Each structure stands twice: as structure tokens, then as C-alpha cells.
Amino acid sequence: MSAFERVTRRSLLRGGAVMLGSAMAAPLLSSCGGGAKSGNAKELTFWNFYGPNPKADAQSKWFTDLVAGWNANNEVKIKLHYLPVSEYIAGTALQTAFSAGQGPDIFLLSPGDFLRYHNGHVLADLTPYLKPDQIADFDGGVLNTRKVDGKIYGLPMEQEPLAVYYSVDAFEKAKLSEGDIPKTWDQWLDVAAKLTTKDQFGLLFETIPGYYQNFTWYPFMWMAGGSAVPENGGAGFNVPGVHQALKLWQDAINSKVAPRKPQGDGAGNAAANLAGGYVAMQQTGIWSVSQLEAEKKDFKYGVFPLPVPDGGTYTTDIGGWAFVANAKGANPDAAGKFIAWALGATDAAGVERGRQWNTVVKTNLPARKSVQEAAKAAGAFDKPALKVFLEQVVPGGRGEPRYTPEVYKAVSDAIQATQLGGVDPAKAAADAASKIDTFLKGYKGAAML
């Protein structure tokens, strides 16, 4: 597994399927502590899946340099604790640590699993450590899924929008051109059929259950007018739009234009699937630009926004990881100050840190306006693929939703039942909606967004 394969979100989020099939599906951590007793410890642990890793790649170096810069000027030191993806997310190391009262002082968290920790009273309020200009520097809406009652509980390090990548050579062999890039779901399946051969599928959606699969399916639900939980008394999960979104993925499998199983570590791995010739079109995220540069530099590809259903409104899902602090850790005050400095500093060094992470060692859309401007000035978005992301994909973006494990699992079950199990979409949606409605009647945690 390459450096990029190891750390991109499709690997990281897949672990939800493992955890949520067990007792982990219950509201976790409500009775657990943090690391040592909250106080004034002089060393804090920072659990992460980037570094220092055995390969000592650019992403690992960014993390080690970040901590070295802080440690050189502060009495309270940060100590990185690297965990491979299989332990950090696809396993239960983090949850087990918190349940045992030994959770890290600082760790990485996605919106998809935010409520597990917030409702468990794990996350520290970072608002006191951020100046108004720092908060204002974050791109519109990017903090929303990290806020509760106006307080900020996580600082995002990136934004990762989803789009569709396609093989230029596959298009040419099928006598297709840019003019054939699909705009609607029906066109998408039609083009996928034209691209399907005995050796290649036309299209790839994620088929492995987990947070990543849900993340990649949500835009279809939104575009068709549905939602996992009723929004402002409006549509919920058992509505025609959700049925339609589930049926799209089911039809792709049933018509054999999409495979039942991806190559590599999943359907977010563009090197193994698209560049490997396994598929001609692939739904994945902005991270695949840097992945393809690193692993398949000569591969010719293009990017286009997710197609839209008839009568729908274009939407994509924008994910990304955040630094969070353990409210019951060894020194929450120092942890909060570190996070505000690491990801929120508005001086030249702070902006450059953000630019390096988002456009040099990885390809993301920066979460902060100042970093976006610095990246643009450096020509980061002049590459054709990134230009498409910036100008066509992101404007229709919506932040990755935060749902409880119970809601996540109900949606995941519906996707799996229809996509691979052949269940009627209306029945799967009704079953999921019933579970969600029952759960919501007794739910008392933070708002789901």
C-alpha cells in the first residue's frame, strides 16, 4: 500500500462497518475518561495516521516538522503516536483507549464520527483559543459540522470534495469525447455501458460498507431531494428521491457496468482501479490527483462533476479531517493552544504550513481562505484536474454530514441491501427510515447536520 493509499479517507472511513456491527453502535464514551487526569502535564500525546510512519514520506515529515516547530518554542511538548489505518480507524484502538480512560490528548476526527465523541463528552471546546480573525479565515461553512451551540470542537486541516475521474484512453477507444461526458444519471449509465468491455467496467462506486461508502453515496441522496434525517420537518429517508439514489447504484451493478468489488483497498483508490484499467470512470475525491501523480504519473485522465438526476440540483460531498482535543486529557489547555497554532495561525508561517499540507504533500482544497489564496498565487490550481475541482466541483459542495452511529448504520444497511443484495430500494429505504425514526424519538445529543 502506498503512502497516498494508506492515508486517504476511503481507507480511513471504512472502519465504521467493523465498529458499528457490534456494541460500538451504541452511544459510546459517555462514561469514559481521557488520558491522565486533566491537569498541567508537560507532554501530550497526539494520535494520528500520518507520522512518523515507517516510510518517512512527505506527509509524515509535515507532521514531524509541525510538532518539532511547536516543541522548540513551548514548554509543553507534543509527542506523536503513529497508528496505521488498520489500527486507528479500521480497528478499535482509539475507541478502546478512550473506554479504558487512556485516550490521547490530541487526535484526528472526521465529521462522520464527530457525534460519537462529542456526545460522549470527549471533545474540548477550542473556541477560547481562537481569535475572531482566525475563525473568520475558515472557508464558509467548513466549521459547521465541528460546532455545537456556537462552540468549535475541531479545526479542519483540509476539504476533500468528490467528483468523477475518467480514463482518456478508454474514452478514445470507445469513440467518446469530452462532449460525451455525462450530465445526468441516465446518461452516466449509458456512457458506462459504452465503456464496458470484457476486460473493463465502465463505472465504479464503492461497494465495501463503511463510513467511506456512506460518504460517497450521500450526494446522490441530496441531489434527488432526500436526507438521512428529516430536515426542518421536510423529506426524510423513505422518499422517492432516496429510492432513486439507491436504485442508481443498484442498476449500475445489475447492468454489469460496475463491479461488485473494487481493486486495491477500495473505490477511492484511483491508481489501482482507474489507472490500472479495471474501470473507465470512477467516483473518488480530490486526493486522487496527488495519488495518480505519485503512482501513475503518465496516466491520462480527466475530471467532471457528479451527474445530476432529472429535476435534481447538483451537490457533492466535501469531507476532511480535523484536529480535536481530549477534554479530559493531561492538559486540555495546552492541547487547545497547540491546535489553534497548528491549523489556525494567520501569520506567514501558519499560512505556509496550510499551503504545504493542502497543495504540496497532498491535494486538497484548503479549509482556510488565506491558505487558498496563497495556493492560488503559487499556481497550485493551474493543473487541469484541480482547476475543475475549484471551478466546477466545489461550488456545489456540502460538508460531510455528521450522524450518530445508529443513523450511519441504518443508511449503510440500505445501501448494501440494494446495491449488492438485490432488495427493492423502496423496501430498504422504508426499513432504514423506521430504524432512524425509532432512534430519533429518544435521541438527546447534539444536532445532526
**pLDDT tens for each residue of 315-346:** 999 999 999 999 999 999 999 999 999 999 99
| 137 and 197, same domain (yes or no) | no
Task: Identify the three-state secondary structure at position 296.
Answer: coil
Q: Which of 114, 171, 33, 160 is nearest to 447 (CA)?
A: 114
Residue 447 lies in a domain: no
pLDDT at 280: 98
pLDDT band at 285 (very low <50, low <70, confident <90, very high): very high
Which of 378, 395, 412 lies at the terminal end of a domain, its last residue?
A: 395
pLDDT band at 243 (very low <50, low <70, confident <90, very high): very high
HSE value, Cβ hemisphere, 13 Å, CA-based, for 222: 21
CA dist., res. 201 & res. 260, Å (int): 10
Note the pTM of the prediction, 2 decimals: 0.88
Backbone angles phi, psi at 280, to 5 degrees: -100, -25
- pLDDT of 17 above 90: no
End-to-end Cα distance, the chain = 34
Average the pLDDT over 416-426 and give the result.
Answer: 98
Residue 42 lies in a domain: yes
pLDDT at 189: 98
The domain in which residue 329 lies consists of 3-159+319-395
- pLDDT of 9 above 50: no
| 129 and 244, same domain (yes or no) | no
pLDDT band at 372 (very low <50, low <70, confident <90, very high): very high
Percent of the chain with pLDDT over 70: 90
Average the pLDDT over 229-247 and give the result.
Answer: 88
Q: Quote the number of domains for the chain.
A: 2
Mean pLDDT across the chain: 90
pLDDT band at 234 (very low <50, low <70, confident <90, very high): low
More confident residue, 39 or 47: 47
CA dist., res. 279 & res. 317, Å (int): 22
Write the pLDDT tens digit of every residue in 84-102.
Answer: 876 776 678 898 999 999 9
167: left (phi over 0), alpha (psi -120 to 50) or beta: beta
CA dist., res. 333 & res. 327, Å (int): 9
Residue 7 lies in a domain: yes
| 375 and 434, same domain (yes or no) | no
CA dist., res. 2 & res. 425, Å (int): 37
| 271 and 414, same domain (yes or no) | yes
Evaluate the omega torsion of the peptide bond into residue 52 and state whether it is cis, within 30 degrees of 0.
Answer: yes
Residue 228 lies in a domain: yes
pLDDT at 364: 93
| 195 and 47, same domain (yes or no) | no
Greatest Cα pair distance in the chain = 66
pLDDT band at 211 (very low <50, low <70, confident <90, very high): confident
Residue 295 lies in a domain: yes
Q: How many CB atoms lie within 10 A of CB 55?
A: 13
Average the pLDDT over 231-235 and give the result.
Answer: 66
| 307 and 363, same domain (yes or no) | no
| 308 and 324, same domain (yes or no) | no
Task: Identify the three-state secondary structure at position 142.
Answer: coil
| 370 and 412, same domain (yes or no) | no
| 51 and 97, same domain (yes or no) | yes
pLDDT at 38: 61
Residue 446 lies in a domain: no
pLDDT band at 140 (very low <50, low <70, confident <90, very high): confident
| 129 and 193, same domain (yes or no) | no
| 179 and 259, same domain (yes or no) | yes
Residue 448 lies in a domain: no
CA dist., res. 287 & res. 50, Å (int): 15
Write the pLDDT tens digit of every residue in 48-92.
Answer: 999 999 989 899 999 999 999 999 999 999 999 999 876 776 678
pLDDT at 232: 62
Q: Tell me, what CATH number does 30's domain have?
A: 3.40.190.10
| 288 and 390, same domain (yes or no) | no
